[in-house]
Amino acid sequence: MPEPEGANRGAAGEMLPRQVLTPGRHSVLVRLTAAPGMRPALLEVLNTYVDTLRHEPGTEMLVVSIDPDDVNNVWLYETFKDDQAQDAHRAAEGFAVMIRDMPEFLAGPPALLRLDPLRMSMQDSLLENDWSF
């Protein structure tokens, strides 16, 4: 597999993680609790939404995770370039469809934690796999 573009190497040639300072960006950690037995349907709604993110260039990252300790919880971690990007995210058609389709699969309202990220470190090995669908 070719080396990822912009890969960093140390003095001994070892791969170094990418380091990015992220001031001015905004993040949200969201806990979604699915109604019993509804997590697969909730994940389908979320995956359909993720496929629309190409229309939201200011939504720089969205990670969908399942909770290993609670079969009903799904976690989202989203990072936005700035306030305008976060506003555009909320106004996007794909977001509106997700908000419309999701409630029937939830046991209650989402729990949100707003964050202002400061720094990110990512290993290039994350980019080495073919994650295309």
Quote the mean pLDDT of the chain: 89
Residue percentage of the chain with pLDDT more than 90: 71
Q: What is the mean pLDDT of residues 32-61?
A: 96
Output the pLDDT for position 131.
Answer: 61
Q: What is the mean pLDDT of residues 65-80?
A: 97
Number of neighbouring beta carbons within 10 Å of residue 111: 12
d(CA 42, CA 31) in angstroms, rounded, equals: 12
pTM for the whole structure: 0.84
